[in-house]
Amino acid sequence: MQDKELHQQILGIASPWTVTEVQLDHEAEEVRVRVKHPRGTTFRCPECDKECPLKTVLIAAPTRVKCPTHGVKNAPLPWAEKGSRFTTPLTPMKKVARTIRERLPTVVSYCTHGITNVVAEGMNSKIMSIKRRVGGYRNPEDCKAAVYFYCGGLDLYPR
């Protein structure tokens, strides 16, 4: 799935609106999502649902509709709550951005070198389960012996 499609789904953006550009700015610690609609799109008045033509040029800014009955109103936006001057909380999007920011060096390192620490993590997990299973060792040598025994694939009763 591409960035644009992902952000379109996360933000709940539906036709005629589309995500046209997604930019990740590391310095500003933000993701910029550009949202547009096709030129000549007509919107409906949020009060009476009458179609009112409107020419708009926007960069993720709310569109206004001039209705003959109700005057100038904001067009309904999929990511904004009705009657609110603020957009809905983008908590899931913020979480995704935070995760990307935290793990970006690791992902870039993997893409550059093709190496991960998955083997070390797996071994560490196995050692921790051995330590939990026994509940403690008298000395470090006993712990080392248990790790060698379990991780080395040794048989307790060799033939």
Contact 15, 42 (CB under 8 A): no
Split at pLDDT 50, 70, 90, the class of 80 is low
pLDDT in tens, 25-36: 778 777 788 888
The amino acid at 97: A
- pLDDT at site 59: 46
Q: pTM for this structure? A: 0.33
Q: For residue 52, is pLDDT > 70?
A: no
**Residue percentage of the chain with pLDDT more than 70:** 79
- Separation CA 127–CA 129 (nearest Å): 5
Question: In this structure, is the dihedral angle defined by the CA atoms of residues 150, 153, 154 and 156, taken in order, positive or negative?
Answer: positive
Contacts with 86 (C-beta within 8 Å, 6 or more apart), sequence order: 80
pLDDT tens digits along 104-154: 888 788 778 887 888 888 888 988 888 888 777 788 888 888 888 888 877
Q: Distance between CA atoms of 52 and 155, rounded to whole angstroms? A: 80
